[in-house]
Amino acid sequence: MQSKSNNSLIKVRQLTKRFDKLIAVNDISFEVFKGELFGFLGPNGAGKTTTINMLTGLARPDSGSIEISGLDCSKNPKLAQHLIGIVPDESNLYPELTGYDNLCFCASLYGMRKHEREERARDLLEKFGLSDAANRKFAGYSKGMKRKLTIAAGIIHRPEILFLDEPTTGIDVASARQIRQLIANLHDSGTTIFLTTHYIEEAERLCQRIGFIVQGKIVRIDTVISLLQPIQKKHTMVISVLHPDEGLHHKLISEFPEYSIELVSKGQFRIVSEKVINIGPLVRCIEETGGEVSEARRIRPSLEEVFVNITGIELNAMKKEKQKNGRSS
Amino acid sequence: MKRWIAFWNILLKDMRAYYLKPPNISWGLIFPVAWTGMFFIKSGKGLDSIISLLPGVVAISILFGTTSMLAVTVTFEKKNKSFDRLLLAPIPLRLLMLAKTSGAILFGSINAFIPIIIASFLADISHVNWFALVLAAIMIAIASTFLGLFIAVSVSEVFEAQTFSNFFRFPMIFLCGLFFPITSLPIFLRPLSYVLPLTYGVDILRGAIDKGNIMPLWLDFLIILGFCVLLFAISLKNIHKRWIM
The domain locations on chain B are 2-242
**A298 three-state secondary structure:** strand
- CB proximity list for A237: less than 8 A, separation 6 or greater: A270, A271, A277, A279, A296, A297, A298, A299
Does residue A69 sit in the same domain as residue A148? yes
Q: Is residue A80 part of a domain?
A: yes
Euclidean distance between CA atoms A260 and B162, whole angstroms = 64
| Selection from A322-326, B35-39, B99-103 with the highest mean pLDDT | B99-103
Euclidean distance between CA atoms A180 and A219, whole angstroms = 25
Q: Hey, are the CB atoms on B9 and A112 less than 8 Å from each other?
A: no
Does residue A245 sit in the same domain as residue A131? no
User: How high does pLDDT run on average in chain A?
Assistant: 88
Tell whether the model's pLDDT for residue B27 goes beyond 80.
no
pLDDT of residue B240: 87
- Write the residue in B2, B82, B92 that is nearest to A92 by C-beta: B82
B181 pLDDT tier (thresholds 50, 70, 90): confident
Q: Hey, are the CB atoms on A78 and B92 less than 8 Å from each other?
A: yes
Give the max Cα distance, chain B. Answer: 57
Chain A nearest C-alpha distance from B228 (Å): 26
Euclidean distance between CA atoms A306 and A298, whole angstroms = 17
Amino acid, single-letter form, for residue A208:
Q
A304 pLDDT tier (thresholds 50, 70, 90): confident
Does residue A127 sit in the same domain as residue A243? no
User: Would the CA dihedral through A166, A320, B79, A64 be positive or negative?
Assistant: negative
Does residue A279 sit in the same domain as residue A200? no
Chain B nearest C-alpha distance from A276 (Å): 53
> What are the Cα distances from residue B4, in Å, to A76, B7, B95, B118?
21, 5, 9, 36
Query: What is the H or E stretch that residue A161 is in?
Result: strand A161-165
Tell whether the model's pLDDT for residue B105 goes beyond 60.
yes
Euclidean distance between CA atoms A52 and B31, whole angstroms = 45
Q: Which residue has the higher pLDDT, B24 or B51?
A: B51
Q: Is residue A288 part of a domain?
A: yes
The mean per-residue pLDDT over the stretch B126-154 comes to 92
Does residue A212 sit in the same domain as residue A267? no
Q: Hey, are the CB atoms on B90 and A59 less than 8 Å from each other?
A: no
pLDDT of residue A2: 42
pLDDT of residue B190: 87
Strand partners of residue A222: A210
- Each residue of A1-54: pLDDT tens digit? 444 556 899 999 999 999 988 999 999 999 999 999 999 988 888 899 999 999
Domain boundary among A175, A194, A229: A229
Q: Give the residue on A whose Cα is nearest the Cα of B81.
A: A92
Euclidean distance between CA atoms A318 and A325, whole angstroms = 11
pLDDT of residue A324: 57
- Each residue of A101-123: pLDDT tens digit? 999 999 999 999 999 999 999 99
Q: Summarize chain B as % helix, strand, coil (round to 5).
A: 80, 0, 20
A325 pLDDT tier (thresholds 50, 70, 90): low
- Each residue of A237-247: pLDDT tens digit? 999 999 888 88
pLDDT of residue B121: 86
Is the Cβ of B229 closer than 8 Å to some Cβ of chain A?
Answer: no
A323 pLDDT tier (thresholds 50, 70, 90): low
- CB proximity list for B2: less than 8 A, separation 6 or greater: A110, A111, B90
Euclidean distance between CA atoms B97 and A112, whole angstroms = 20
Strand partners of residue A86: A163
Closest CA to A71 of A62, A81, A61, A60: A81
Are A148 and A87 spatial neighbours (Cβ–Cβ below 8 Å)? no
Q: Give the residue on B whose Cα is nearest the Cα of A56.
A: B88
Q: Is residue A119 part of a domain?
A: yes
Does residue A20 sit in the same domain as residue A127? yes
B211 pLDDT tier (thresholds 50, 70, 90): confident
Q: Is residue A312 part of a domain?
A: no
pLDDT of residue A329: 36
**C-alpha triplet B148, B152, B155: angle, nearest 5°:** 135
- Measured in degrees and rounded to the nearest 5, phi and psi for residue A92 equal -120, 40
Could you report how far apart the first and last alpha carbons of chain A are, in Å?
38
**A86 three-state secondary structure:** strand
- Measured in degrees and rounded to the nearest 5, phi and psi for residue B88 equal -90, -5
Chain A nearest C-alpha distance from B157 (Å): 17
Does residue A28 sit in the same domain as residue A120? yes
Does residue A203 sit in the same domain as residue A103? yes
Tell whether the model's pLDDT for residue A317 goes beyond 70.
no
pLDDT of residue B32: 67
- Each residue of A157-172: pLDDT tens digit? 999 999 999 898 888 8
Burial bucket for residue B70 (CB in 10 Å: 0-12, 13-18, 19+):
buried
Q: Which CATH number covers residue A206?
A: 3.40.50.300
- CB proximity list for B137: less than 8 A, separation 6 or greater: B58, B62, B108, B109, B112, B113, B205
Q: Which CATH number covers residue A248?
A: 3.30.70.100
pLDDT of residue B242: 84
Q: Is residue A12 part of a domain?
A: yes
* Domain span holding position A277: 235-300
**C-alpha triplet A111, A112, A116: angle, nearest 5°:** 170
User: Would the CA dihedral through A56, A60, A62, A65 be positive or negative?
Assistant: positive
Does residue A61 sit in the same domain as residue A176? yes
Q: Is residue A62 part of a domain?
A: yes
B115 pLDDT tier (thresholds 50, 70, 90): confident
Euclidean distance between CA atoms B245 and B243, whole angstroms = 6
Does residue A111 sit in the same domain as residue A259? no
Does residue A161 sit in the same domain as residue A270? no
Q: Which of B16, B20, B85 is the best mutation test for A, with the most CBs of A within 10 A? A: B85
Strand partners of residue A214: A217
The mean per-residue pLDDT over the stretch A186-202 comes to 90
Does residue A211 sit in the same domain as residue A248? no
pLDDT of residue B166: 83
What beta strand segments (E) does B34-133 contain? Answer: none
Core vs surface per residue B52-67: b (16+ CB within 10 A) or e: bbbbbbbbbbbbbbbb
- Measured in degrees and rounded to the nearest 5, phi and psi for residue B80 equal -90, 10
Report the domain count for chain A.
2
